[in-house]
């Protein structure tokens, strides 16, 4: 996975931020994503995350690592035929030391 230079760069790559709580993400609870920390975590809608505008039905968000809040990963949803959820794709991350 690629590393962003800083948090501003990660947010720029994420795109246009959506208002907080504008989308119910509970449908993704329990689905795995690869974190910038090197581990695989299960998504939980109680995580600290921010949604960004994405194409079509996809969701794009920056998720904080549940083990280290200094690690942030930009993930997006993957769908087959627009309705069948295939998982998350981890695009890039930032590790603030």
Domain positions in the chain: 2-95
Tokens, residue 20? 């907080």
What pTM was computed for the model? 0.88
Report the pLDDT value the prediction gives residue 80, as an integer from 0 to 100. 85
> How confident is the model at residue 93, as a pLDDT?
96
Count Cβ neighbours within 10 Å for each residue of 50-61 and write b for 16 or more, e otherwise: bbbebeeeebbb
pLDDT at 94: 95
Q: What is the pLDDT along the chain (97 residues), one digit of tens a residue?
A: 788 999 999 999 998 888 877 788 888 999 999 999 999 999 998 888 888 887 677 889 999 999 999 999 999 999 888 778 899 999 999 998 7
Strand positions, DSSP E, 1-97: 2-3, 32-34, 40-42, 49-52, 60-64, 71-80, 84-95
């Amino acid at each position: 996975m690629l590393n962003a230079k800083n948090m501003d760069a990660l947010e720029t790559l994420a795109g246009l931020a959506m208002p907080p709580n504008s989308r119910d993400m509970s449908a993704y609870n329990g689905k795995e994503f690869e974190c910038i920390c090197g581990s695989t975590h299960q998504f939980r809608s109680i995580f600290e995350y921010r949604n960004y505008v994405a194409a079509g039905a996809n969701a794009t968000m920056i998720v904080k690592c549940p083990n280290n809040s200094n690690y942030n990963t930009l993930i997006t949803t993957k769908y087959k035929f627009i309705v069948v959820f295939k998982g998350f794709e981890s695009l890039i991350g930032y590790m603030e030391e």
